[in-house]
Amino acid sequence: MNVTSFYSSNKYLLLPTPSNPKVALAVDTSVQAKNAFKLYNPFSEKAKYLKKLSQFLFLKTNKLASAIAAKKNREKGEFITYLEKKLTTPLVSSVYFATAKDKVVLQLQSKDKIIGYVKFPLNAIGVQHLNNEIKAIAVLSEKKIIAPAILIDAFNDVPYVFLEELKGEIKEVPENELQIVLQKFKKQDRFLLKEHPFLIQLNKKLKSNSLQNEIGILDTICNTSLVSYFEVYEHGDFTPWNLISTKQQLIPFDFEYFEENGLEYMDLIKYHFQTGYLLKGLSVSELIDFIRQKITISEINSLVIIFLIKEILRKTEEKESCVFEREILLHLTQENV
């Protein structure tokens, strides 16, 4: 569908730039703008400054800022029209465009209040991710780990999910808070790596994608490891931007890469890998040292290698570049020679 399908008939501010927006924020009034800016949570200092400046202008001088910087969308999109009938309420939508271009996330306002967020896939990969998240929501909400969805339905045979608003702050969090969340994901059973359900499934997927080099590396690790690891519910994309810090607790969201039979430590490695690589800009050797400093266990090298193989598999399946992951994998395997 065209992106205008997700717009309501409002004025929109496109950030960080109109030509390459990450978000389209409804800014007709200062109240709508205040709500809409909650959808935009950048991590770079430059983008944070842009958000603060734009937020100040649209909250304090809304009419002037809107006249200068916002663009009017005159026709309500077909998906918003459909949702208004479905939810029996008028809607104002703001739109987040996923970096992978596989989905949009809509913030829905009704009568100047946020009523929730809708995830809608844009292609086959997006549908796959959303169906996996729907599975995660079913499993984890039954375990009382996360809240259930408000609504799961389909529009023109495309699935979507409507989720409640999580009120809090997105930021880097202390290690002890990460551990509290990950403890909730832990199951009761432990396995040696060669017998772990996660590794058995990973090996099958590597074979189906003809990743022979990775199969050999994985076999060596599994056959030499003497440590047992818990089976867990694995978030799959456990990063600072997928965690909301509320007054009561840290809440994970965005379970598109959920693993029902996951491996202990994969989520924690993902968190520090993405923090070191994307937020701190560390080099290969610096990133490896950073993860080792954060996770001080005997087989950390082996677990990082497993994590990298998992990432290479995912990116291979989704036809993304995995040059950086292969570079780190080569560095670690050469260390072990």
Q: List, in sequence order, the alpha helices (H) in 61-161.
A: 62-69, 78-87, 124-142
Sheet arrangement for strand 103-110? 71-72, 11-15, 23-26, 92-97, 103-110, 113-121, 158-163, 151-155
325 and 208 in a single domain? The answer is: yes
214 — alpha (psi -120 to 50), left (phi > 0) or beta? alpha
12 and 157 in a single domain? The answer is: yes
Range of the domain at 97: 3-163
The answer to whether residue 169 sits within a structural domain is no
Residue 169: closest CA among 270, 248, 109? 248
Average pLDDT on 156-164 reads: 97
271 and 331 in a single domain? The answer is: yes
Summarised one tens digit per residue, pLDDT across range 260-299 is 999 999 999 999 999 999 999 999 999 999 999 999 999 9
Q: Give the whole-angstrom CA distance, residue 195 versus residue 299.
A: 16
Q: List, in sequence order, the alpha helices (H) in 11-95.
A: 30-36, 45-60, 62-69, 78-87
Name the 3-class secondary structure at 115: strand
The answer to whether residue 131 sits within a structural domain is yes
pLDDT at 100: 84
The answer to whether residue 112 sits within a structural domain is yes
State the average pLDDT for the chain: 95
Strands 158-163, 250-252: pairing is: unpaired
225 and 108 in a single domain? The answer is: no
Q: What is the CATH number of the domain that holds 260?
A: 3.90.1200
Summarised one tens digit per residue, pLDDT across range 225-240 is 999 999 999 999 999 9
225 and 318 in a single domain? The answer is: yes
Provide the β-strand partners of residue 12. 26, 71
Residue 337 has pLDDT above 60, yes or no: no
pLDDT at 171: 85
The answer to whether residue 277 sits within a structural domain is yes
pLDDT at 336: 60
Q: Give the whole-angstrom CA distance, residue 238 versus residue 268.
A: 7
Residue 185: closest CA among 227, 228, 231, 133? 231
19 and 42 in a single domain? The answer is: yes
Average pLDDT on 247-252 reads: 89
Q: Give the whole-angstrom CA distance, residue 43 versus residue 87.
A: 33
* Residue that finishes a domain, picked among 96, 128, 163: 163
pLDDT at 21: 94
pLDDT at 335: 75
Q: How many domains does the chain have?
A: 2
152 and 182 in a single domain? The answer is: no
155 and 61 in a single domain? The answer is: yes
* Residue that finishes a domain, picked among 140, 163, 186: 163
pLDDT at 108: 98
Summarised one tens digit per residue, pLDDT across range 112-136 is 999 999 999 999 999 999 999 999 9
The answer to whether residue 254 sits within a structural domain is yes
295 and 236 in a single domain? The answer is: yes
Residue 173: closest CA among 242, 237, 236? 242
Q: Which of 77-81, 84-88, 248-252, 289-293 has the lowest average pLDDT? A: 248-252
39 and 130 in a single domain? The answer is: yes
181 and 214 in a single domain? The answer is: yes
225 and 128 in a single domain? The answer is: no
The answer to whether residue 202 sits within a structural domain is yes
* Residue that finishes a domain, picked among 121, 136, 163: 163
Q: Give the whole-angstrom CA distance, residue 77 versus residue 331.
A: 50
What share of the chain has pLDDT > 70, as a percent?
99
Angle at 266 between CA 261 and CA 269, to 5 degrees: 170
